[in-house]
Amino acid sequence: MANPPKSNRPFPTREEILEFIQSSPKRVGKREIARAFKLGAEGKVMLREILKDLERDGALQRGRSKRFAEPGTLPEVTVLHITGIDAEGELMARPENWDEDAAGPPPAIYMAAERKGQPALGTGDRVLARLERTGRGLYQGRTIRRLPSAPSAIMGVYREVGGEGRIESTDRRAKQDYVVPAGQSGGAKAGDLVRAAALPGKDLGLRKAKVTDVLGAMDDPKSISLIAIHEHELPSEFPAEALDQAKAAGPAPLGDRVDLRGLPLVTIDGADARDFDDAVFAEPDPDHPGGWHLVVAIADVSWYVRPGDALDRCAYDRGNSVYFPDRVVPMLPEELSNGWCSLKPKEDRPCLAAHLWIDGDGNLTRHRFERAMMRSAARLTYDQVQAAQDGRPDDVTDVLTKDVIAPLYGAYAALSRNRRARGVLDLDLPERKVIINDRGTVAEIALRERFDSHRLIEEFMITANVAAAEALEKKSLPCMYRIHDQPSPTKVAGLSDALETIGLKIAKGQVMQSSIFNQILTKAKGGPFERMVQELVLRSQAQAEYSPDNIGHFGLALRRYCHFTSPIRRYSDLLVHRALIRGGRMGDGALETDHKDFAEMGQHLSFTERRAAAAERASVDRFTTQFLADRVGATFIGRINGVTRFGLFITLSDTGADGLIPIRSLPDDYYIHDEAHHRLRGRSNGKTYVLGEAVEVRLVEARPLTGGMIFELMDGGGRSGGGNARGRFTPGARPTGGGRKKSGRSGGKDKSKKGRGKKSGKPARG
């Protein structure tokens, strides 16, 4: 810890407090600052106000556990990419996901020597590292563990150009093809999807590559998901030991389990669901009029997957299942995920049951967890349940409506009241659904319907998750919390600036609560800027994570929250199950020891979750592009969902498809990127393109290989002005003056080490 500056004054100045925080090698909290400056009770109150002011002014950023650092400070644990050796022979690294266009050059990270017996790190290696801040913009990294390195492998389609082999990469960032030298094609034929390894040297200015695997024809519908699996390095094959263990699994004995087989528990999922890991039941609470007794029964995966065994190692490595339109890459082998751990109707299954009691306003009053044996009364879909509740039961739900379905909705009404009272962030944005036909191609792309039956299950699951976190806290057992921090002051300030342009305001200085954002969303509802406001509010939010350190869940307005309800597809939930079993002395399969660092595990599971989400999006993008590929030249209605220095991102209204309008296709002008207000503005013609604006576009290009689509605006679009030629952009230009500046967040940075790069003040074309 840095020494505080010497001062004869009874209380430190803002500058002294800020200097102490900035010079600290780690993030510090109020307690450390008060101790360093020897502050008493009155001084701590004054300190709290000063820290709030510094945070509001953007001089500090607050991280987990209310610990402070200067803006731009890296997290203490992060994924690094080893970049090489500097002039002094020091090994250098950079944060893997650093966005230089948005955040400027990354800080300098020097790697400490590896532990004795470990091989030295080399260029291209990836590591999960613990960072220690050694100065302003300087860090030392220590390897926690090595990660699979970014592959030198290439995926693409093999072509033949003038008798010479070429590979067109599936990566949309790749600007050029690869040349395949004679004899290095691996038997690939034109149109095959291949993996290849980069070779040294170039040919005709193009890099060379050798085909290592032929995966099949690119026009095979299965190829789209294969591309996403490769690009995001998803583990897709189980080792023989794990498969053998899964095949050897069988029914769990009743033993000491509570027998719930007579309780009419039902599963409610989408029609396309492939596994069923939760079942629900509700009945009025006879001891508390208006209250309800809920049962949420979850597949007992911990009975089959024990700490440290082959299945456990695979499940942890994967972190979660990944769902594509045409397949699943499961966390567990099919014998478990679709078999013994799936709550199939009319079959005995081991479960971990949460008994939940709520009052008439949906407040959780008490809970109990038990290991049980259940037998699902029915496998229901959201559509079925909603239709039954609306008076249109089918043959299956007719006998269940009164005694099973109606009580579920009664309990849901109480939980909904509690949700509204808490002020849960109410962002219910549409989601794309890709419907695959029997041939494996896209039959339709539609927006998923949302019924109260969806919300019912969500509220039951949230309540069970809260109860699990409370139960573990009460017994002081390790809990992998699902945390969601409040938005950073910088993001809130940016949101406030953008909202002011459409007459909406966020009062400055107030403590951020999800209800504040709901007020903004309500004011915008039904107006021309509704979608724009939804997008802005969504982008202002922090990203949810897994962590053993509880900071609450901002979006759900909950003080404690974890994931308990999906252990088939999320390893975080399996950890919670094991801890509950250990705490309740419920038999085998418990978390016997804290055999791994929970903070490290939280980082890993957060990473695998983001990896899965990115792979799923990439797959949907490619399927959507394939679906629209034969409609090049057609016009569509959409909205601007992103404004960048290189163009406008568009989302089509009917399919949710995304694509780019390059800045070069906008009417001829110098365009100023107003980052704070999410808009491009022509300096001469005055045309303005704003986030959320409805536009009519023409599809110019669709490339299923990369999932990229290019659009152009009909009639130039925009809110004023004219012109129809190619556009230009003024990087980093201020949004108000129309003049040029030589540096800035929005583009044109000097990227050379010695500051000898191209000046950013010069207007760039396209």
State whether 452 and 566 are in the same domain.
yes
Q: Is 25 exposed, middle or buried (0-12, 13-18, 19+ CB in 10 A)?
A: middle
Which pLDDT score is estimated for 685?
A: 84
Query: Which of these three, 102, 126, 147, is where a domain ends?
Result: 147
Both tokens of 59, joined, read 């001089």
Which of 84, 77, 143 is closest to 108 using CA atoms?
Answer: 84
State whether 163 and 251 are in the same domain.
no
Does some domain include residue 531?
A: no
Poorest-confidence range of 143-152, 335-344, 596-605, 709-718?
143-152
Q: What is the pTM of this model?
A: 0.74
Which pLDDT score is estimated for 750?
A: 32
Residue entry with tokens 């021309």: 528
- Strand, helix or coil at 434? strand
When the pLDDT of each residue in the chain is averaged and rounded to a whole number, the result is 84
Rounded to whole angstroms, how far apart are CA atoms 706 and 623? 10
With a CB cutoff of 8 Å and minimum separation 6, the contacts of 90 are 110, 111
Domain count, the chain: 5
Poorest-confidence range of 76-90, 239-253, 354-368, 463-477?
76-90
Rounded to whole angstroms, how far apart are CA atoms 199 and 164? 16
Rounded to whole angstroms, how far apart are CA atoms 267 and 269? 6
Q: How confident is the model at residue 149 (pLDDT cuts 50, 70, 90)?
A: low
Does some domain include residue 509?
A: no
SS (H, E, C) 482-513: EEECCCCHHHHHHHHHHHHCCCCCCCCCCCCC
Q: Is the pLDDT of residue 94 over 90?
A: no
State whether 713 and 757 are in the same domain.
yes
Rounded to whole angstroms, how far apart are CA atoms 311 and 574? 12
Does some domain include residue 540?
A: no
Rounded to whole angstroms, how far apart are CA atoms 295 and 358? 11
- Strand, helix or coil at 682? strand
Which pLDDT score is estimated for 25?
A: 65
Which pLDDT score is estimated for 306?
A: 94
State whether 30 and 178 are in the same domain.
no
Q: Is 721 exposed, middle or buried (0-12, 13-18, 19+ CB in 10 A)?
A: middle
Rounded to whole angstroms, how far apart are CA atoms 276 and 266? 10
Q: CA–CA distance from 254 to each of 248, 304, 585 (Å)?
A: 19, 14, 16
Pick the residue with more confidence: 200 or 56? 200
State whether 50 and 102 are in the same domain.
no
pLDDT in tens, 25-52: 667 777 888 888 888 887 888 888 888 7
State whether 324 and 462 are in the same domain.
yes
- Strand, helix or coil at 760? coil
State whether 58 and 111 are in the same domain.
no
Q: On the CB side of 538, how many CA atoms lie within 13 Å of its CA?
A: 15
Does some domain include residue 487?
A: no
Residue entry with tokens 């109990």: 368
Highest mean pLDDT range out of 207-221, 395-409, 652-666?
395-409
Q: How confident is the model at residue 61 (pLDDT cuts 50, 70, 90)?
A: low
Does some domain include residue 517?
A: no
Which of 174, 166, 157 is closest to 208 using CA atoms?
Answer: 166
Query: Which of these three, 98, 116, 147, is where a domain ends?
Result: 147
Poorest-confidence range of 531-535, 695-699, 701-705?
531-535
Q: Is the pLDDT of residue 89 over 70?
A: no
Q: Is the pLDDT of residue 100 over 60?
A: no
CB 180 within 8 A of CB 209: yes
pLDDT in tens, 411-461: 999 999 999 999 999 887 778 889 888 888 889 888 888 899 999 999 999
Rounded to whole angstroms, how far apart are CA atoms 544 and 472? 20
Which pLDDT score is estimated for 762?
A: 26
CATH classification at residue 184: 2.40.50.700
- Strand, helix or coil at 599? helix
State whether 599 and 475 are in the same domain.
yes
Residue entry with tokens 């596994």: 275
With a CB cutoff of 8 Å and minimum separation 6, the contacts of 693 are 532, 639, 640, 719
CATH classification at residue 695: 2.40.50.140
The beta-strand segments (E) located in 348-426 are 348-358, 364-375, 378-381
Residue entry with tokens 């009164």: 402
Rounded to whole angstroms, how far apart are CA atoms 7 and 17? 11
Residue 127 domain boundaries? 77-147
Query: Which of these three, 579, 613, 647, is where a domain ends?
Result: 613
Which of 612, 361, 540, 367 is closest to 469 using CA atoms?
Answer: 367
Task: Please name every residue paired with 398 in a beta bridge, in sequence order, or none if there are none.
Answer: none
Q: On the CB side of 439, how many CA atoms lie within 13 Å of its CA?
A: 6
Which pLDDT score is estimated for 69?
A: 61
Q: Is the pLDDT of residue 225 over 80?
A: yes
Does some domain include residue 550?
A: no
Rounded to whole angstroms, how far apart are CA atoms 725 and 71? 41
Both tokens of 627, joined, read 């679906």
- Strand, helix or coil at 269? strand
With a CB cutoff of 8 Å and minimum separation 6, the contacts of 664 are 647, 726, 727, 728, 765, 766
Phi first, then psi: give them for residue 626, nearest 5 degrees. Answer: -60, -40
Residue entry with tokens 């595990």: 601
State whether 574 and 459 are in the same domain.
yes
Rounded to whole angstroms, how far apart are CA atoms 483 and 475? 20
Does some domain include residue 7?
A: no
State whether 65 and 82 are in the same domain.
no
The residue-averaged pLDDT of 567-575 equals 96
Poorest-confidence range of 219-233, 383-397, 707-721, 722-736?
722-736
The residue-averaged pLDDT of 720-749 equals 35
Does some domain include residue 230?
A: no
The helix (run of H) or strand (run of E) holding residue 240 is helix 240-247
CB 709 within 8 A of CB 702: yes
pLDDT in tens, 340-349: 999 999 999 9
State whether 464 and 598 are in the same domain.
yes
Which pLDDT score is estimated for 740?
A: 30
The residue-averaged pLDDT of 160-164 equals 88
Rounded to whole angstroms, how far apart are CA atoms 212 and 539? 41
Residue entry with tokens 């909205």: 639
Any idea what DSSP says for residue 220? S
Q: How confident is the model at residue 757 (pLDDT cuts 50, 70, 90)?
A: very low
Pairing verdict, β 266-269 and 378-381: parallel
State whether 132 and 166 are in the same domain.
no
The residue-averaged pLDDT of 306-313 equals 94
The per-residue b/e assignment along 630-660, b for 16 or more CB within 10 angstroms, e otherwise, is eeeeeebebbbbebbbbbbbbbbeebbbbbb
Rounded to whole angstroms, how far apart are CA atoms 179 and 196? 11
Rounded to whole angstroms, how far apart are CA atoms 10 and 32? 17
Q: Is the pLDDT of residue 398 over 60?
A: yes
